[in-house]
Every structure is written in structure tokens, then in C-alpha cells.
Chain A
Amino acid sequence: MVTPMNCPLETPETADVLLDYATRRLAPDRAAILERHMEICPACRRFADEQRAVWSALDGWETAPVPADFDRRLYRRIEGEGSWRERWFSPFRLLLAYRGVPAAAAACLVIAATLLVQHPSKPAPVPAPPEMATVEVQPEQVEKALDAMDLISEFNHKVRSEKPESKL
């Protein structure tokens, strides 16, 4: 007895069963259920028929064979790349030949980094702003200055009252 199914075209989650059926990738038991459904669903039947037609049309698209020199060109590029790398890395090859050298260099780097972390160099002292000159001020000097300011103020007042038009 084949269990009925919901229409795959109306349930997007199961629509792939139609694709799988048309491309002959659906398991036989599920295909049987779908075929039973298609007996009463012309939309699904049409979908499957059209999809099969597309599938067989795509079968007709053959492509040309790969050129015979494909591998030769690839290996030439690989070799070319190898020689390019050799040219660039050859100066370091001698260094790398002595296994102790890279290890010693790495150890030096680690020690230097440790020293830097433990004793960070003191920041350069920020130049202090030039100190303000401290001048001792005597009370008499202050009184004289205040007197002078009063005199100037009086003088200005008189000048203004004598020449009112000058304001214009």
C-alpha cells in the first residue's frame, strides 16, 4: 500500500523530490509514492515531463576533449614557479642549511622580546615647560600701580566728557 503524499509543488520543502524523480535520483519507494500522486496531479506530471525533457536536452551538450598539451603546459608552469621561488629563496638557503642558525636566531628574538617585556624602556622624559619666573612683589609697588590706573581712568573720563563728538 503506497501512502499518499502532499503535492510537492505546494510544499517547497519537498519540491526537490520532483527534481530527483525527473533526474532518476529518487529512491524507488519514494518514486512509487510520487507516481501515485502524479496520477491525480497533472501539474506535477507536467513538471516531471518537462524536467525530463530539459535533462535529456542538456545531455546533448558535449564538450571538446582536453587539449593534449594541457599537462605539459601545467607542469611547465609548476616548474617555472619552482625556479622563481628558488631564485628568491636561494640567498636564505645557506642560512637554512645550518640547522642551528635559525634556532639561534629564534632564541635571540625570544630573549630580546622577554627583556623588552620585563624592562620596558623608560619613556623619554617630556621636556618640562619653561618655569615661570617668580618675582617678588612689594605692597608699595601694588599701591603705586593702582594709583597709576586710577589716574589713567580719570584722564580718560575727562577726555571723553570734553569731546563728546569724538565718539561719533
Chain B
Amino acid sequence: MAALDFDAELMLRVREGDGASFGVLLDKHRSSVVHFLFRMVQNHAVAEELAQEVFLRVYRSRATYEPTAKFTTWLFRIATHLALNALRDGRHDRSQERLDDDSGDLPVRQVSDTRPNVEQAMLSEARLEEIRRAIAALPEKQRAAVLMHKYEEMEYSQIAKVLNCSESAVKSLLFRAYEALRARLAHMA
């Protein structure tokens, strides 16, 4: 049997009643789960709500947890499942509102009054919105695959386990997704 990854060991400790290990897991994966969910649904409130649900489910499942796969595979399977459900339930509708408002999802930047910087900030915001729209336009599974590949740096095999499909299906998903993104974003080089 392959050696357990450290996260799986932590989860086994949580199963034994070690609450501190749950805290360690939360610290380690909180940001990646929230950011992945935000990029999926493109709404902060919904992403946070879903991320809370992900960790709540992890905690609830502690008694029956079996380390049959990498912990992150299991974690992102829960996150992807919840995100896809939210998108199908229509909670993503709010994402369009979110895209149109000008509150932005970036940390507040200090923009000085000098004109070139204002223009730069506006250009940067326009590019960001173009990226968001391009990602939002991808079919849900392609979107999930791209986000896991690009931002979580997952291997094809791990993405396949998360999406419950074959590795060749993942490659095909990614190929089509990047093809669509190239058509929309390649000019941004």
C-alpha cells in the first residue's frame, strides 16, 4: 500500500478525535478551496458559503473517512460537486451581477492620482474582467478542469479522480477549454 500523504494522516487523527489536526487541515487548504470556488462561481458570498460547506462536510465525514485517495483529491471532489450543484441551481446567476459591478475581487489597490497609473489600473481591470468572462463562458466541467490544472497545479490523473472521469477525458476537456481561452485571450500576451 502506498504511503499516506500527510493530509490523510491528519484526517485520520481528526477521526480519532484530534480537533487540532482539523485546524491544521483548515489552515492549509482554506485559501485554495475558497479561491477555487470563487473562480468557479465568481461570487464571493456564494464561494465562502460553499467553502464553509466543504469543510463542514469534511468534519462530518471524519468518522467514516478512509484514505483511499489523496486528501486533496477528496477535498476538491467535495468542492467541485458543491460548485457544480450551485451553478446548476442558478446561484451562479449572481455571478453575472458580480461581474458587472465595479467592486472588483482584488485587494484594494493604492492608485495614485497620476494619469498613467489610473489608465494602467483601468486597463488591468478590463483585462481581468475579460479573463473572468472567458472562464465563466466555459462549460462547467471544462472550467473546473482548467482551474484545477492552472491554479491548483494538479496532475491529469488527480483531476480525473476529482471529476470522476478518465485521464484521457481530462486531457480532452483541457484541450477544448484552452482552445476556447486561446481564442478569447491570446491577444493579451
Contact = CB atoms under 8 A, between A and B. Distances in A.
Asked if A pairs with B, the answer is yes
B91 interface: no
A128 to B, nearest CB: 55
B3 interface: no
A81 interface: yes
A147 interface: no
Interface stretch (B5-13, B31-39, B68-76, B111-119): B31-39
B127 A57 contact: yes
A56 interface: yes
B2 interface: no
Given A16-B171, A78-B56, A78-B59, A56 B189 contact: yes
A74 B150 contact: no
Interface residues of A, number: 32
Interface of B: 23, 26, 30-31, 34-35, 38-39, 44, 48, 51-52, 55-56, 59-60, 105-107, 124, 127-128, 131-132, 135, 149-151, 156, 168, 171-172, 174-175, 178, 181-182, 185-189
Interface of A: 12-13, 15-16, 19, 23, 47, 49-58, 60-67, 70-71, 73-74, 77-78, 81
A53 B188 contact: yes
Contacts of B172: 12
B31 A66 contact: yes
Contacts of A77: 52, 56
Given A49-B189, A57-B185, A63-B39, 19 more contacts: A12-B175, A19-B175, A23-B150, A47-B182, A50-B189, A51-B182, A52-B189, A53-B185, A53-B188, A63-B38, A64-B38, A64-B107, A66-B34, A70-B30, A70-B34, A70-B51, A74-B52, A77-B56, A81-B60
B74 to A, nearest CB: 18
Contact of A57 (B56, B59, B131): B131
A67 B149 CA distance: 25
A54 to B, nearest CB: 5
Nearest to A71: B26
Nearest to B187: A53
